[in-house]
Amino acid sequence: MVDFINEVEEELRKDDYNRLLKKYGPAIGIVLFLIIAGTGFIEYRKYANDKKAQAVSAIYTSADKKLDAGETDAAVQAFVELGETGPDGYAGLSLMRAAAIQQEQGDTMGAVRFFDQAAERFTTPRHKQLAQLKAAYLLADVGAYSDVIGRLDALAVKDAPYEHLSRELLGFAHSEAGNAAAAREQFSFLTSIPGVPVTVKQRAEQSMALINAKSGLLAPEPIEAMPTETQPVDVQPTDDTPETDTPDED
């Protein structure tokens, strides 16, 4: 009797299962299919990205070898092509390399152009602003101070990756452009806030002193008192001066 009851309960469970399967089976099948397909797609993308990264790395290494072999123009061309077709990280780095080569060759404006292109390809603020700052340094070297000021306004802001260096260069550009007040504002900021690197702070203090000297704002040096000569005093005896007894001679 017990076995019969168990069999009946088992059949009922099977019926419930079959009913649920008929009702929700298609939806469950679709979910399982999507999970399997999604996993397969992710693995495929990972494989494809790895293959692409290997190919890009090979191109970058080849460009490096061309540079080591003295094929400068070919190396620059390879880095530029990789900067146009490679993934963002490699593209920005390749254009930075091309800019560095142009800088070494004395082509300042060519280097600035590649640094600007690198800044456009980078996605992280630190890398993007590094390329922008390097371009600004080169422009300062050739005296394009108005261009430098226009570029650095967005970099010399609180908590920017290169805030202090940008403020220092911005102060220099203002000073060279003849705007002593704006230059003094930047250098004063660098000398008064905490967290500024020691070398940057020292250079800012020196720049402030130089600006003040040019503006005639140096504190006057203390005037030393002229030494006075001590003249001998001729003391005349008076009636009130006690006489000194001299010993009698025997």
What is the 3-class SS of the chain, one letter each residue? CHHHHHHHHHHHHHHHHHHHHHHHHHHHHHHHHHHHHHHHHHHHHHHHHHHHHHHHHHHHHHHHHHHHCCCHHHHHHHHHHHHHHCCHHHHHHHHHHHHHHHHHCCCHHHHHHHHHHHHHHCCCHHHHHHHHHHHHHHHHHCCCHHHHHHHHCCCCCCCCCCHHHHHHHHHHHHHHCCCHHHHHHHHHHHHHCCCCCHHHHHHHHHHHHHHHHHHCCCCCCCCCCCCCCCCCCCCCCCCCCCCCCCCCCC
pTM above 0.95, yes or no: no
**Residues 160 and 145: beta-carbon distance below 8 Å:** no
pLDDT less than 50: residues of the chain: 2, 4, 8, 218-250
Q: Tell me, what's the pLDDT at 243?
A: 45
d(CA 68, CA 71): 7
Angstrom distance (rounded) from CA 63 to CA 46: 26
Q: pLDDT value at position 50?
A: 58
Residue 214 is predicted with a pLDDT of: 80
pLDDT confidence of residue 31? 74
pLDDT of residue 16: 63
Check residue 122 and give its pLDDT. Answer: 93
pLDDT of residue 118: 95
CATH top-level class for 12-142? mainly alpha
- Closest listed residue to residue 100, CA positions, set 125, 63, 69: 63
Task: Give Dmax over CA atoms of the chain in angstroms.
Answer: 168
Record the tokens describing residue 250, joined without a space: 């025997």
pLDDT for res 246? 39
